[in-house]
Structure formats: C-alpha cells, structure tokens
C-alpha cells in the first residue's frame, strides 16, 4: 500500500524514505479515511487502545506522522486471543497547499480526527470578469 499519499501533486516525487530506518518495534498501519471539504482535508484514523498520552502526531519536512502506543485495558490472563495491540504508525506526505500551522487533532472513542486546512492561496477563488 502506498503510504504517503494524500492525493496531491507530490505523488510522482519519491519522498525520502523513512520506513527502513525506524526501530525494530512492531507497528500496525491503522486504517484511515481521508475526505476533502471546502476548507481542507479531514483525516480519520482508528487507533483503539491509544490514550491521549500515548499519541504522537507531528509534522516535519512536510511529512505527517501519526504514532500511537496502544495498551490493553482488561486485566487477567489471556485464554483466547483474536488480536494483539501493538504500536500504530503511519505517515503521509503533505504538500504546500496544506496550512501546516493550523492542523488540529482530536481523539475520541479511539478515533483520531485531524483537520488539515487548506492554505489561503489554495482555496478556490472566483475571479470577476470586468467588462470594458
């Protein structure tokens, strides 16, 4: 799966790969929804078991990184398992049309919502035609 694809013009450039150099810990790629609104992009990621303290969202060199430490919440000895909770990690490349200083994040019911507003110059504008 292509990891850093926010459908932008940057797709044909190859971003500097970070995937190979990260630590040996195990990660899961969380499923995300990305949709566009008039003001920007909304990213939603399922991060079950991640608390606010365990969540790390950062933007660096146009790279949006979502990382979460997931922890089991139930006590006791496991007798039957269908899933493991290991750390989440996913990266997306942003382009200059996202206003990186205004990104906001919200975590609710294990779902992270990120608001990526469009930069002013990227918003659609109507151009008045003067009749001379």
Partner 1 sequence: MAEWNPFADMEALRREIDRAFEGFGPGQAPSRRVAFLPGREPRKYPLINLLEDKDNFYVEALTPGVDPQSMNLTVTPNRLTLSGEKSNAGDIKPEAFHRNERASGKFVRTIDLPVEIDEAQIQAEYKNGLLIVTLPKGEKAKPKQISVKVA
Counting beta carbons within 10 angstroms of the beta carbon of residue 94, is it exposed (0 to 12), middle (13 to 18) or buried (19 or more)? buried
Least Cα distance to 28 among 100, 88, 114 occurs for 88
The answer to whether 21 touches 91, Cβ cutoff 8 Å, is no
Least Cα distance to 95 among 125, 126, 118 occurs for 118
Enumerate residues 40-69 that contact partner 1 by CB under 8 A. 41-42, 44, 46-51
Nearer to partner 1, 58 or 72 (CB): 72
Q: Is 3 in the site for partner 1 (CB under 8 A)?
A: no
| SS3 at position 121 | helix
Residue 89 and residue 70: Cα distance in Å, rounded?
Answer: 11
Nearer to partner 1, 82 or 121 (CB): 82
Q: Is 39 in the site for partner 1 (CB under 8 A)?
A: no
Q: Is 19 in the site for partner 1 (CB under 8 A)?
A: no
Among 25, 75, 131, 132, binds partner 1 (CB under 8 A): 75
Nearer to partner 1, 31 or 58 (CB): 31
Nearer to partner 1, 24 or 132 (CB): 24
Q: Is 10 in the site for partner 1 (CB under 8 A)?
A: no
Handedness of CA 8, 27, 52, 82 (dihedral sign): positive
Contact residues for partner 1 (CB under 8 A)? 5-7, 26, 28-29, 31-37, 41-42, 44, 46-51, 72-84, 86, 109-111
């Amino acid at each position: 799966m292509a990891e850093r694809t926010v459908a932008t013009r940057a797709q044909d450039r190859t971003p500097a790969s970070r995937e190979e150099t990260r630590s040996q810990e195990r990660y899961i790629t969380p499923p995300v929804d990305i949709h566009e609104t008039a003001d920007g992009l909304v990213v939603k990621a399922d991060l079950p078991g991640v608390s606010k303290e365990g969540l790390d969202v950062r933007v660096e060199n146009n790279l949006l990184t979502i990382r979460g430490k997931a922890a089991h919440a139930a006590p006791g000895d496991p007798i039957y398992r269908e899933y493991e909770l290991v750390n989440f990690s996913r990266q997306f490349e942003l382009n200059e049309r996202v206003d990186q200083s205004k990104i906001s994040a919200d975590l609710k019911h294990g779902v992270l919502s990120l608001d990526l507003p469009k930069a002013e110059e990227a918003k659609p504008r109507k151009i008045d035609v003067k009749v001379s």
